[in-house]
Amino acid sequence: MAASAVIRDRGSAGDLNFRIVDVTLDGNYPAGGYPLAAKDFGFGTNGQIFFVDADASMTGGWAVGWDYTNSKLQVFDSSGAAGAAMHETAAATVLTGVVARVMAWGKGQG
Protein backbone atom coordinates (compact mmCIF):
# COMPACT_ATOMS: atom_id res chain seq x y z
CA MET A 1 0.00 0.00 0.00
CA ALA A 2 1.23 3.51 -0.80
CA ALA A 3 0.54 6.84 0.83
CA SER A 4 -2.94 8.15 0.09
CA ALA A 5 -3.72 11.81 -0.55
CA VAL A 6 -7.05 13.52 0.25
CA ILE A 7 -7.62 17.13 -0.82
CA ARG A 8 -9.09 19.10 2.10
CA ASP A 9 -9.28 22.57 0.53
CA ARG A 10 -8.33 24.42 -2.64
CA GLY A 11 -8.05 27.97 -3.83
CA SER A 12 -6.04 30.38 -5.94
CA ALA A 13 -4.03 33.58 -5.74
CA GLY A 14 -3.29 35.24 -9.05
CA ASP A 15 -2.32 32.60 -11.58
CA LEU A 16 -1.25 30.05 -8.92
CA ASN A 17 -3.48 27.47 -7.29
CA PHE A 18 -3.06 25.95 -3.85
CA ARG A 19 -4.22 22.71 -2.32
CA ILE A 20 -4.37 21.65 1.31
CA VAL A 21 -3.87 17.89 1.27
CA ASP A 22 -3.75 15.25 4.00
CA VAL A 23 -1.33 12.47 3.07
CA THR A 24 -1.85 9.32 5.14
CA LEU A 25 1.31 7.23 5.33
CA ASP A 26 1.48 3.45 5.33
CA GLY A 27 3.31 0.52 6.89
CA ASN A 28 6.23 0.39 4.47
CA TYR A 29 8.20 3.63 4.05
CA PRO A 30 9.93 3.55 0.63
CA ALA A 31 13.63 4.48 0.50
CA GLY A 32 13.88 8.11 -0.57
CA GLY A 33 10.28 8.98 0.30
CA TYR A 34 6.74 8.61 -0.96
CA PRO A 35 6.45 9.54 -4.66
CA LEU A 36 3.63 12.03 -5.24
CA ALA A 37 2.78 13.71 -8.53
CA ALA A 38 0.97 16.94 -9.37
CA LYS A 39 -2.21 14.91 -9.98
CA ASP A 40 -2.07 13.60 -6.39
CA PHE A 41 -2.37 17.22 -5.22
CA GLY A 42 -5.25 17.98 -7.58
CA PHE A 43 -3.25 19.84 -10.23
CA GLY A 44 -4.04 17.36 -13.01
CA THR A 45 -1.84 15.02 -15.00
CA ASN A 46 0.06 17.85 -16.70
CA GLY A 47 0.13 20.15 -13.66
CA GLN A 48 3.22 21.68 -12.11
CA ILE A 49 4.22 21.95 -8.44
CA PHE A 50 6.19 25.06 -7.47
CA PHE A 51 6.20 25.02 -3.67
CA VAL A 52 5.30 22.49 -0.97
CA ASP A 53 5.09 23.06 2.77
CA ALA A 54 4.58 19.86 4.75
CA ASP A 55 4.08 19.14 8.43
CA ALA A 56 3.10 16.23 10.68
CA SER A 57 2.15 16.08 14.31
CA MET A 58 5.43 16.07 16.22
CA THR A 59 3.88 13.94 18.98
CA GLY A 60 4.94 10.88 16.99
CA GLY A 61 8.54 12.08 16.63
CA TRP A 62 8.35 12.46 12.84
CA ALA A 63 9.11 15.46 10.67
CA VAL A 64 8.28 15.63 6.97
CA GLY A 65 9.76 17.52 4.05
CA TRP A 66 9.44 17.75 0.29
CA ASP A 67 12.14 16.57 -2.12
CA TYR A 68 11.68 18.95 -5.09
CA THR A 69 14.13 17.10 -7.33
CA ASN A 70 12.37 13.74 -7.07
CA SER A 71 8.79 14.85 -6.14
CA LYS A 72 8.75 12.80 -2.95
CA LEU A 73 7.42 13.35 0.55
CA GLN A 74 10.25 12.40 2.89
CA VAL A 75 9.96 11.48 6.56
CA PHE A 76 12.68 12.24 9.08
CA ASP A 77 13.26 10.88 12.57
CA SER A 78 13.32 13.81 14.99
CA SER A 79 14.25 11.79 18.07
CA GLY A 80 17.99 12.54 17.87
CA ALA A 81 20.04 14.37 20.45
CA ALA A 82 19.93 18.16 20.69
CA GLY A 83 22.08 19.74 18.00
CA ALA A 84 22.18 16.54 15.90
CA ALA A 85 20.97 16.66 12.33
CA MET A 86 17.80 14.70 11.60
CA HIS A 87 18.17 11.79 9.23
CA GLU A 88 15.72 10.23 6.83
CA THR A 89 13.65 7.38 8.17
CA ALA A 90 14.87 3.91 7.21
CA ALA A 91 13.15 2.04 4.40
CA ALA A 92 10.28 -0.24 5.51
CA THR A 93 9.60 1.79 8.69
CA VAL A 94 5.98 1.40 9.76
CA LEU A 95 4.24 4.80 9.61
CA THR A 96 0.66 3.54 9.55
CA GLY A 97 -1.73 6.23 10.71
CA VAL A 98 0.74 9.12 10.45
CA VAL A 99 -0.90 11.98 8.53
CA ALA A 100 1.14 14.74 6.90
CA ARG A 101 -0.68 18.00 6.15
CA VAL A 102 0.65 19.48 2.92
CA MET A 103 0.10 22.88 1.33
CA ALA A 104 1.10 22.73 -2.31
CA TRP A 105 1.23 25.66 -4.74
CA GLY A 106 1.22 25.03 -8.45
CA LYS A 107 -0.55 25.33 -11.78
CA GLY A 108 -3.06 23.05 -13.41
CA GLN A 109 -6.53 21.76 -12.67
CA GLY A 110 -7.62 18.30 -11.71
pTM for the full predicted model:
0.88
Alpha-carbon distance 74 to 33, whole Å? 4
Give the pLDDT confidence score for residue 40 in this predicted structure: 95
1: pLDDT confidence band, cut at 50, 70 and 90? low
For 15-44, the pLDDT digits (tens) are 999 999 999 999 999 999 999 999 999 999
Which residues form the domain of 38? 4-107
Q: How many structural domains is the chain composed of?
A: 1
> Which is more confident, 77 or 66?
66
**Percentage of residues of the chain with pLDDT beyond 90:** 77
| Integer Cα distance of 71 and 91 in angstroms | 17
Separation between Cα atoms, residue 39 and residue 47, nearest integer Å: 7
CATH of the domain at 31: 2.60.40
Q: Positive or negative, the Cα torsion across 15, 55, 87, 84?
A: positive
The pLDDT score that the predictor gives to residue 61 is: 77
